[in-house]
Amino acid sequence: MELDLKPIELSGIEKKRPMIIAGPCSAETEQQVMDTALMLANKGIKIFRAGIWKPRTKPGGFEGIGVDGLAWLKRVKQETGMYVATEVATAKHVYECLKAGIDVLWIGARTTANPFAVQEIADALKGVDIPILIKNPVNPDLELWIGAFERINNAGLKQLGAIHRGFSSYDKKIYRNLPQWHIPIELRRRIPELPIFCDPSHIGGKRELVAPLCQQAMDLGFDGLIVESHCNPDCAWSDAAQQVTPDVLDYILNLLVIRKETQTTENLGELRNQIDDCDNEIIEVLAKRMRVCREIGTFKKEHDMTILQTGRYNEILDKRGAQGSLCGMDSDFIKKVFEAIHEESVRQQMEIINK
């Protein structure tokens, strides 16, 4: 289905990239909220974020200040003129936020993964017209993410936006949550009018990764950033390692290079034609390779051989990965390409053997 969307419009906020939402991971105390908000407001930030209810992986951690924190966000609005945003996970959260006049709501990654919870939030939002941002689900499931937008849109809300916060993984060598940029890129292809925000804090998990992730998001044409910023990050009650001070955030934002999205030069057109020619050659070579694979399938059928020859498969992956490195490409990328090629080769050989 097509989404019925309209731009996110908040009076006084310029319609330019990037739209910035910033504030602490959690509202901890009234003093902490006000100190951070005043510092951010002085840096020109117009939308203040703070978690009121915090879903924790295990019980016993700080699970948010609860409804009391909404009064602090109201005070932020009154004293700084900033818009305020927070996360909702249940219908009760929605009702409390609407009662408190919260301007922007977002749905967290754990909630997005649960269609029952998203539908409950959608039902509670009927008749409301405020911006609703939806984080990607914890698992890399684009259809589940799009389904959440459809549920909220079906409830009549049109000011929607996506938050890319990365995807959970056991592999945490660099990132807290793997970016898997191809997923938000595909979301943009499928729903081009949907604004996309990047959450570098949750992707990186470390404050030193916030700046490069912000720049990468801008280079990919994202519309906004939602960044965790705390007046005293090292003392934060949750996610201390990934929060930056308002001063550091201001420094990061001032260094951002915002490239034009629409300008296409004649030279770029020529280069794109070269890419098209290369792609055509790749497809022709793959078709030739598959013809050879089908001949191998016929040979295996005639000699009662199994399709999968593990030793040969491992040899191909290792050799091609090494070749890719020598040609300036990432070996893991090359291995993924040949894993996909091998999967198609096996499928075609299976068709021949099962005839």
Taking the chain (355 residues) in runs of 10, the rounded mean pLDDT of each run is: 93 93 97 98 98 78 89 98 98 98 98 98 97 97 98 98 93 85 95 97 96 96 97 95 98 92 63 86 91 90 82 83 87 88 89 86
pLDDT at position 153: 98
What is the pairing mode between strands 196-198 and 132-135? unpaired
Q: How far is Cα of residue 37 from the mean position of the Cα atoms in its chain?
A: 25
**135, two tokens:** 């984080």
Range 19-255 has CATH code 3.60.15.10: no
Comma-separated ranges of CATH 3.20.20.70 domains in the chain: 19-255
| CA distance linking residue 69 with residue 64, whole number of Å | 9
Comma-separated ranges of CATH 1.20.59.10 domains in the chain: 266-354
pLDDT at position 268: 73
pLDDT at position 267: 66
pLDDT at position 126: 97
* Residue 306 · residue 349 · CB < 8 Å: no
What's domain 266-354's architecture? Up-down Bundle (1.20)
Contacts of 15 (CB under 8 A, 6+ apart): 7
